[in-house]
Amino acid sequence: MTLAAPQPIQSDHDLSMFNSGRAALDDWLRQRARKNEISGASRTYVICEAARVVGYYCLASGSVENMRTPGKIRRNMPHPIPVMLLGRLAVDISRHGEGLGGALLKDAILRTLKAAEISGMRALLVHALDQTAARFYLHNGFVVSPINPLVLLLALDTARQALTSTSQ
């Protein structure tokens, strides 16, 4: 079955069967995603098979203390540094191994770059749940925070350059 491109979460999306294998990610999707959407706390984007959600991520604006960022990101930046927070990213276990995680991350990066055109931000920041998740982000160009190995950042200029070079 064909998957829809990532889109904002809506009331008719079926969240009930989503199972990433990580209860915290599954519960957040079912219990918080729509509430956060309504309150404006975060924005959740989903990939669906028909109306069934098979992958999602959420974004929220934020900031990070300068000392928590690598030198390249903190150089010439105000305190604190404006960032986009990638709050969650998960794929249903029925779709693991199909590249959906990478596709969701690319969409999150593209949306972050678009947001950076109207509101200043320096990086995309993620708090990885564990070392496996951290390796996924490292493989995709993120760098580790100097004070926490599970906090990773992707400088937006690096993301922009990577996307430009892959589209040529």
Cα separation, 83 vs 90, whole angstroms: 21
Cα separation, 9 vs 52, whole angstroms: 11
Specify whether the CB–CB gap between 29 and 53 falls below 8 A: yes
> Is 137 an annotated catalytic residue?
yes
Residue type, 106: K
Return the SS3 of 76: coil
Nearest to 111 by CA among 8, 38, 32, 11: 8
45, 56, 57, 137: the catalytic one is 137
Specify whether the CB–CB gap between 124 and 154 falls below 8 A: yes
Q: Which residues are known to be catalytic?
A: 137
